[in-house]
Amino acid sequence: MGQSQNASVHQQIDRYINHLLVEKGLADATLSSYSADLQRFSDFLASQKIRAVDQADTAAVLKYLIDLRNEGLDIRSRARHLVTLRGFFRFLVSEKEISADPARLIDLPKFGVRLPHVLSVKEIARLMEAPDAEKPRGARDAAMLELLYAAGLRVSELIHVKVRDVNLSSGFVRVMGKGSKERIIPIGSHAIDRIGHYNEYARPRLLKHHTSKFLFVARAGNPMTRQGFWKLVRQYAKKAGFEKKVSPHTFRHSFASHLLEGGADLRAVQMMLGHADIATTQIYTHVAREHMKNMHRQYHPRG
């Protein structure tokens, strides 16, 4: 216990952030968020004349969360702060700098699960037919949409897929996700066919005399931008007759939901999505349950 009283809160926070960087490989934006949350907690401890983390008890953590509410933070932000504190305290317990986690008995703030917007299988099929695959750009766009849905990619991952990352004969794509973590994801026959057609017919025409290591190219061999692809998705959603908002992330949500509806294992879906925490993936089990409830209401004689 003596060690924690000698070590400043700032040093403990720095060690924890370094632990997350080295051991967990978290992205810079995530580390910045954790660091800002913990700095805010450190300022709170100072305002309460609490000089060391091991002097912060459950009551102090509760007061901190109440102060956040009084400062106008919404329920999700307060829940995020509590999750950050739990991780910090667990780290200090494992390092034997504190004897117990003062936040372990505090429940996360309750809020309704905001279900991600997903498309039905029929809607996905309709959207996939929107690009004109007989034209070079249409063939590229059709291949991008198919791969996005086939592998549940983030848009940033999709636009950075390189030619060497896709193996059409074995049916896999390799992507570099958040925190520079690589994952290999199977892709289906539709994506394989679309990418094969794009590679043979469209990509050479789009490149003209340029070269590129990226699979999907725009002008002068440059990779597609996030904004450019967002515009294409909106354009094709409108062409397919959708009135609701469709974004590249809608494909990722739909990928996860359709797999779970079909009986896929949650941990397998977690690996394919590249989620560090399975709790992030569990949101899709709610979507699958909603789907089952709707099916029951529609088809059961007493639904």
- Give the residue numbers annotated as catalytic, written as ranges: 154, 178, 249, 252, 275, 284
CA distance 78 to 40: 12
Cα–Cα distance between 187 and 152 in angstroms, integer?
10
What is the spatial distance between Cα 137 and Cα 14, in angstroms, rounded to a whole number?
48
Helix axes 248-261, 121-128, angle to 10 degrees: 140
Cα R_g (the chain), whole angstroms: 24
For residue 55, the surrounding DSSP H or E stretch is: none
Q: Report d(CA 209, CA 164) in Å as an integer.
A: 20
Give every strand in the sheet of 172-176, ordered side by side: 166-167, 172-176, 182-186
